[in-house]
Amino acid sequence: MRHWHVSFSLFCFFVFMFFFLFLLAPDDETSPTSTLSVDVINITCKTCSDKSIVFDYSFCSESLQEVPVSHMTNLQGLAIVAMELALQNATNTLSVIKELLNNETLGPFSTACLRDCSLLYSDCVVTLVDSIGAFLAGRYGNAGTWVTAVMDGAETCEEGFQDMEEVSPLTKQNYSLFQLCDVALCIMNLLASDVHLLLKS
């Protein structure tokens, strides 16, 4: 088991990311940073939505713009913000699952699905921590592979309820995790192409 260090790792990552994202802030002091950053967010989300029929432009734009540090960072910083949001989502969802499992009125099928989702989300948390580390090290390939695995985990959790013909209480959480990871994955692909040159602050 490698989950024992997750809480400590999350604390370290959240603190580290707060300072790291400021290092990624644009250097041009004469530019209207907030305006430029909103433009980068919107252009990035639009570019990604044009490349995928499952990518949610509105979700992407609203999620990134809600984080203050997103307005003073660059494309790499936006990818980290997306992964940090995904990590928060996965961590919070584990708490939601724990609360739901304490409900004694749940049927056996729903309980089984929730237990499966608990395992999936526990793995997602660890995988996202590893993905952020890989991304910071410039290993975009590994980071992308692991983020994709998290997306698969969210889909598997949701499909488990569908297979049992049960109503999923985690539809919103699964959707959010999938979309946040899709944002990060798309940005990684942009960084590996020439498109990111058009999005530099």
pLDDT band for position 93 (cuts 50, 70, 90) = very high
The confidence score (pLDDT) of residue 195 equals: 54
Task: List, as one string, the DSSP characters of 164-175.
Answer: TT---TTHHHHH
Residue 133's pLDDT is: 94
pLDDT tens readout for residues 152-186: 999 999 999 999 999 999 999 999 999 999 999 99
Position 38 scores a pLDDT of: 61
101-134 confidence digits (pLDDT tens): 999 889 999 999 999 999 999 999 999 999 999 9
